[in-house]
Chains A and B, each alone.
Chain A
């Protein structure tokens, strides 16, 4: 069964305090590993797609990396506006997405 597990469930950071979010996934039949950001009351917003181990992508203070079993979302010097829920999803057959439960990030000034 395809599974995606995200940790931690919640993370509280001080502004400028760098950290990483983890996403572990079932490997068989992987067709992409996706990261989304979701603000309260809104739909998920696409951040990154990773396809192969060793691949990295960056956007502002965010960098996503992929290994054979896990993906990490590194947040460097976060700001309060980075507060959101970050969702990880694995792509499968017909590009169905299997989502993790998300990590709720709060960045305090």
Chain B
């Protein structure tokens, strides 16, 4: 099992550009989520999904969009990048024992 994979590892964007952060898991987990991690702060939940076709907002959803067409994939879209979205983004999936497995992260810089 590859676990949770994320691409790209690094990305630099200009203000106003859009992009999609990819996330995939091969553990057949229903629950997936996206977090951002900023210095001095805990990971904050952006969006989550409890299964294919079902998504909901987390703590900091503004400026981000998600969809869940398959169990395996949960992409995160930045609609119009802003410098405040410079962060490290982590995707996670959860098993039935409540354990969340995190991907390696995407480091995003918005200029």
Contacts and interface: CB of A to CB of B under 8 A. Distances in A.
B43 A87 contact: yes
A95 B45 CA distance: 11
Interface in A55-105: 87, 89, 91, 94-102
What band does the interface of chain B fall in when counting residues whose beta carbon is under 8 Å from A? 20 to 34
Interface in B78-111: 90, 92, 94, 97-105
A95 B43 contact: no
B90 A97 contact: no
B42 A98 contact: yes
B44 interface: yes
Interface in B37-84: 40-45, 48, 50, 56, 58
B105 A91 contact: no
Contacts of B92: 43
B106 to A, nearest CB: 10
A87 B42 contact: yes
Contact of A32 (B98, B101, B103, B105): B98
